[in-house]
Amino acid sequence: MIGYSAEIEVFLNRLYRPLLVFVLAAAVLVSCGEKAKSSRAAGDELFAKAYEAQANGDYLASVRAYDEIIAKHQGHPNIDKAYFMRGYIRFENLNDKAGAIQDMNHLIDKFPTSDLVDDARFIIESINSGEDIITRFKQKSGDQ
């Protein structure tokens, strides 16, 4: 009986070990997928919080929300917008020109294909020229 039991044990090890590894791997992948989904949802919630704070005129709270997005959600598909919006608020509402330029340059350097790169360059040029963004935009578009 001992030989028979050992044969069964070998058979079961050959069958169940790969199955166990597969099940554990699948559980890890599902868990990672759920974390990615929850991370995306958490990032989306922070974007909503940042937009709401900005709309209510609470610019510091908006910047703090963007800070959190940037610190914790680098993989978020809209991370470039977080840098842009934080820089825009720093310039337009908080008079933090150095911080705004830093955010815009980061956006340009790290996300060169972003649809916000031209706008970031425009804001940097506006800051460096000392002109109001609206005035520069009107001059650039020929609408004076």
- pLDDT tens readout for residues 13-33: 565 555 545 555 545 544 444
Percent of the chain with pLDDT over 70: 65
- Distance, in Å, from the CA atom of 84 to the CA atom of 63, rounded to the nearest integer, reads 11
In this predicted structure, what is the pLDDT of residue 95?
Answer: 93
- pLDDT tens readout for residues 44-92: 999 999 999 999 999 999 999 999 999 999 999 999 999 999 999 999 9
Show the domains of the chain with their CATH numbers: 2-141 (1.25.40.10)
Percent of the chain with pLDDT over 90: 58
Helices 2-55 and 79-92 pack at an angle, to 10 degrees, of 30
Answer yes or no: is pLDDT of 112 > 70.
yes
